[in-house]
Structure 1
Amino acid sequence: MSKRKQRRKRRRKIGLIFLAAVLVFLLLPNKKSEVFSKGKEEISLGELYSEAAILLDEEGQILGRKNSEKKIYPASLTKIMTVLLSIEKLDNIREITVLREEIFPELYAQDASMAGFLPGEKVTYRDLLYGAMLPSGAECCVALAEGSCGSEKEFVSEMNKKAKKLGMKNTHFTNTTGLHDDNHYTTVEDLSRLLCYAMKNQDFSKIFTAFSYSVPATNKHPEGFTFFSTLSQELQKAGVKDSCILGGKTGYTSNAGLCLATAAEINGKKYFFITAHAQGSHNTEPYHVLDALSVYGKLEK
């Protein structure tokens, strides 16, 4: 075969390979699409305040995503794992425990959010579960970890094992509270895996969808006290009195931005929506809540 024919044959082969590669690229699904389909309609997630977001139904079907695999800091969304794992590991959530005095100084020093329990207070693990989820109490998280595994360090090891088991491939925990650590990270897609699994647990679902909880009388609070979910406070700030949102968990640090995980029911069907890194703080407009209301509002139409 002449050299000219060999060159033609080589060029033809390269051209076919290139054409095949283009066809494969065009036919592959766009996993990072910022649009999901609702019948014949398309709803964009690109205009959200949050840098990362994911919407899915209760069956785990992803309906929309925005930077869903981008590394984010989860802040207090961490407590979804803390509460779930505690429920799974504790033999009896109505058992009484005592909050060790040693838990508090470091949390105070880090300006961690607290539920309002005091050193030496005798409470049930059930009180601590609600305290971790609703007012985002860091003291509750550490006490739950110690009650479940003996120490926070051992509990965090179990958190990472659980994450791996759930297929949370881009997640690593270093604490139970979500206080910032560069090595404490996840993605909204991983968090969606966690939330879908957790909501199948009856105890978790009940706590996640509660807006208030009353602690009965204790040795430190003779008359008991009531705390409210941070989500209910943010909804109030946004001027929302009634919505499809069933409950959820907020989160914030300066590194994580405003974060939110919610469950909602629309036309008899449940949806989960998770967002992370919206600009703002506790003193600004609740941009994470506004994102949720916007997306759920479009689903209601």
Structure 2
Amino acid sequence: MRYCRYILAVILAIMVFSVFTQPAAAAEPTETAASDAKPAADAEEEKTEEEKKKEAYEKELQAVYQLPVQSNELEDWAQGPGTYGDAAIVMEAGSGAVLYAKNIDAKEYPASITKVLTALLAYEYGDMNSNVVITKEALSCLGSGYASIGMKEGNSIYMRQAMHAMLLASSNEVAYAVGETVAAGQGQSYDWFISQMNEKVKELGGVNSHFINTNGVHDENHYTCARDMALIGKELFAYPEFFETCRTQQYKIDGSATTEEHVFQQKHEMLIANNSEYYEKAVGGKTGYTTEAQNTLITMAEDGNLRLVCVVFKTYGGHVYSDTRALLEYGFQNFQKVSVLENEADKRMKNIPKDAYVCLPEGITFEMLDKEIEKIDGSSEAKITYLYQDMPVGTVTAEVEDVFASNQTVRVAAKTSEESGKNSGSGSSQWMRTFAATLAACIVLVIVMMTVLSVRRERKRLEARRKRRKN
């Protein structure tokens, strides 16, 4: 009973404290206060145009920040940060896993990050020692405000110099000339290069892109999406020269018989040493901006374990670098590689590469993954994409037996705990929930038992006291 009295005293003290600390009801305004208050409409009229614009901008900024992040809606997935842009993605390049997704398939204008696709095709089809000649057509793309290094018709530079001018200085005329030169090397026209841009994106698995130029000069029919740009960035990891070019701090094109000297600097601030936005894990990327696209940015980074591609679209204000940094750190800090060979229990899958892996956050185990198996025409192999609630977390190529009938693609659902003969793993959130519920039940049981024992002891004490009084 003594313990019960203590508990009751504490509860009463808390109740009294809460009553006396409640905020007082707002007093009705006095006549004087009411007369001094200005009508809201008048106060609104007194705001300057600049203040109104700022207020509207802040509202728009907050609305964009609060747009849904689809990856955060996945059950038990690592929660990622908001961004001040319409769309964003983080993809792990080695596995193709999507770690973060915000409107990743929505149509967006890429602006100058278009040039990373132009670079990809130049590395695939071009010769870095070939001559790139600036034509009249190349100069025709230069509208007001578009980036240029001031090349003139007839200027000639090497392709490797052109790649620096395109990726560092974002030269639009050079990007156009790169497309012309690569196409000519294949016996084709500039239009062929554009068609190859679109074909390449589809080949990589792109879902919503349509490119009509090599440089990102704005056109309503020139668009892409975050997922497609991340797939392009993923592919560029096969070309180390791309990253060597991207990390160059300053580059000079020496003067020649046809061309004057040009010197230009790195523009991607996360790649500039000693810049306040410098990010030590960043290894490549490209900036972009037009009035219609706002800020766009693609950034590749690695930490010795994971290789990430981050793309942000239509980012407002000065948030393009801070958003990118936050997203990359989210990826590095919350995800790890999980071996496919060591965890795949499906005996129909043969010759799984030793280095194949999926990328998962803590709490998600391999047994929770579905897989989509797509037959590769003319081959005994298939492309296997692992999915967590439709989010791709890794892709591997292996032989698969007795799966395909008439369908070219087969979906295999994850086994339940009962089917696999075990729970979802030591890191499973289901296990944690079960453990927590059991622990809570044990605590309640202990409290009940202690209370019963206390009551019994109190009864025995009172009984002993009554006996002593009788005696």
Taking structure 1 as the reference length, what is the TM-score of the superposition?
Answer: 0.77
Indicate the residue corresponding to 2:268 in structure 1.
231
Give the deviation of 1:51 after TM superposition: 1.4
Indicate the residue corresponding to 2:339 in structure 1.
none
- Amino acid corresponding to residue 201 of structure 1 in structure 2: Y
Cα distance in 1, alignment partners of residues 199 and 156 from structure 2: 30
Summarize the Cα distance change of 1:255–1:238 in structure 2 as closer, same or farther, 3 Å threshold.
farther
- Amino acid corresponding to residue 121 of structure 1 in structure 2: N
- Amino acid corresponding to residue 117 of structure 1 in structure 2: M
Cα distance in 2, alignment partners of residues 231 and 110 from structure 1: 22
Cα distance in 1, alignment partners of residues 269 and 256 from structure 2: 25
Give the deviation of 1:156 after TM superposition: 0.7
Confirm or deny that 1:199 pairs with 2:237. yes
Give the deviation of 1:267 after TM superposition: 5.1
Of 135-144 and 227-236, the range deviating more from structure 2: 227-236
Give the deviation of 1:269 after TM superposition: 3.0
Cα distance in 2, alignment partners of residues 234 and 200 from structure 1: 20
| Structure 2: tracts of 5 or more residues without a match | 1-68, 334-471
Summarize the Cα distance change of 1:77–1:36 in structure 2 as closer, same or farther, 3 Å threshold.
farther
Tell me if structure 1 keeps the 8 A contact 2:249–2:265. yes
CA-to-partner distance for each residue in 1:26-76, whole Å, 9 max, x for gaps?
xxxxx9323789xx983423x211211111222122111111111111111
Cα distance in 1, alignment partners of residues 270 and 98 from structure 2: 28
Tell me if structure 2 keeps the 8 A contact 1:75–1:251. yes
Indicate the residue corresponding to 1:119 in structure 2.
153
Summarize the Cα distance change of 1:219–1:273 in structure 2 as closer, same or farther, 3 Å threshold.
same
Equivalent residues in 2 for 1:96-245, closer than 5 Å: 96-104=131-139, 106-150=140-184, 151-219=189-257, 224-232=261-269, 239-241=276-278, 243-245=280-282
Summarize the Cα distance change of 1:145–1:71 in structure 2 as closer, same or farther, 3 Å threshold.
same
Summarize the Cα distance change of 1:268–1:233 in structure 2 as closer, same or farther, 3 Å threshold.
closer
Cα distance in 1, alignment partners of residues 118 and 264 from structure 2: 19
Tell me if structure 1 keeps the 8 A contact 2:90–2:309. yes
Tell me if structure 2 keeps the 8 A contact 1:234–1:289. no
Cα distance in 2, alignment partners of residues 263 and 36 from structure 1: 25
| Root-mean-square deviation over aligned CA pairs | 2.8
Cα distance in 2, alignment partners of residues 122 and 82 from structure 1: 19
Summarize the Cα distance change of 1:236–1:210 in structure 2 as closer, same or farther, 3 Å threshold.
closer
- Amino acid corresponding to residue 135 of structure 1 in structure 2: A
Of 69-78 and 56-65, the range deviating more from structure 2: 56-65
Equivalent residues in 2 for 1:44-55, closer than 5 Å: 44-45=80-81, 47-55=82-90
Summarize the Cα distance change of 1:117–1:61 in structure 2 as closer, same or farther, 3 Å threshold.
same
| Structure 1: tracts of 5 or more residues without a match | 1-30
Give the deviation of 1:238 after TM superposition: 6.9
Indicate the residue corresponding to 1:259 in structure 2.
296
CA-to-partner distance for each residue in 1:102-142, whole Å, 9 max, x for gaps?
422x2333542113433322210111111111111111111
Indicate the residue corresponding to 2:322 in structure 1.
290
Indicate the residue corresponding to 1:15 in structure 2.
none
Summarize the Cα distance change of 1:234–1:211 in structure 2 as closer, same or farther, 3 Å threshold.
closer
CA-to-partner distance for each residue in 1:167-187, whole Å, 9 max, x for gaps?
212111111111111111111
Taking structure 2 as the reference length, what is the TM-score of the superposition?
Answer: 0.51
Indicate the residue corresponding to 1:27 in structure 2.
none
Classify the secondary structure of the residue corresponding to 2:194.
helix
Give the deviation of 1:95 after TM superposition: 2.0
The one of the two structures with greater contact order (alpha-carbon pairs below 8 A, sep at least 6) is 1
Tell me if structure 1 keeps the 8 A contact 2:72–2:78. no
